Amino acid sequence: MRKTILITGASSGLGRGMAREFAKAGRNLALCARRTERLAELKAELEAAHPDIRVSIRALDVNQYEQVFEVFEAFREEFGGLDRVIVNAGIGKGQPIGTGYFHANRKTAETNFVAALAQCEAAVEIFRAQNAGHLVMISSMSAVRGMPRNLTTYAASKAAVAALAEGIRADLLRTPIRVSTIFPGYIRSEINEKVKKTPFMVDTETGCRALVAAIEREPADASVPRWPWAALGFLMKRLPLSVVSKMA
């Protein structure tokens, strides 16, 4: 059992929801994010509900790359090792390409990919030293194909992290270290709370329960929730781009 789990971007959304689900399962948690006041609230909630687990929190801006290594190593020292690292922190603030919002698209690309690379580097360095561990990359169903409008850069960044995870998996195939890429479909969270009338949207608790169940199986990759996203992913890879673009 992966007893000690580090989650980035744990102060809100899917990270916060996954922390609650892992706490129910009796796991120790290393939680980090920029908003430490929200982390403190979550820590108090989890420790009150589950007094047998350990919850540690640290401030982390994943775009401060040196800080990523420092925080991960501090958690490793505190817990005596890390069993699983979930690379979850990300943003979705992209705009259509060529409309004057390069700054927003660059920030999305840097946060979702370059910062994820830093997290993977820090996590796998620890796992190599331990000769054990489970790296989990939170991608997105939007990574399956190129997406239009506000999703263009976001989808590209999530496709990049999926490819990164697969490359790491290939490098570690003959080791005890496992690598999983998770492709969430529409799960209600702060990143999409203003989006209305989205088909197949599930609430945060339902979605995070499905995420944790998938992560616990330690697959190479998984679409979550499996229905309908495994089937839709199959179709998205094969349908004409003109059809896929209407799904965004």
Query: What is the per-residue pLDDT across 127-164, written as a single tens digit (0 to 9) for each?
Result: 999 999 999 999 999 988 878 888 999 999 999 999 99
The pLDDT, as a whole number, for residue 225 is 87
Q: Is the dihedral of CA 88, 38, 26, 202 positive or negative?
A: negative
pLDDT band at 194 (very low <50, low <70, confident <90, very high): low
- Domain spanning 4-247, CATH architecture: 3-Layer(aba) Sandwich (3.40)
Query: What is the C-alpha separation between 104 and 186, in angstroms, rounded?
Result: 22
Active site residues: 154
The pTM of this model reads 0.93
pLDDT at residue 172 greater than cutoff 60? yes
The pLDDT, as a whole number, for residue 29 is 98
Residue 186 backbone dihedrals phi, psi, to 5 degrees: -80, 105
Query: What is the C-alpha separation between 107 and 90, in angstroms, rounded?
Result: 10
pLDDT band at 191 (very low <50, low <70, confident <90, very high): low
Q: Is the dihedral of CA 138, 141, 144, 146 positive or negative?
A: negative
The pLDDT, as a whole number, for residue 197 is 61
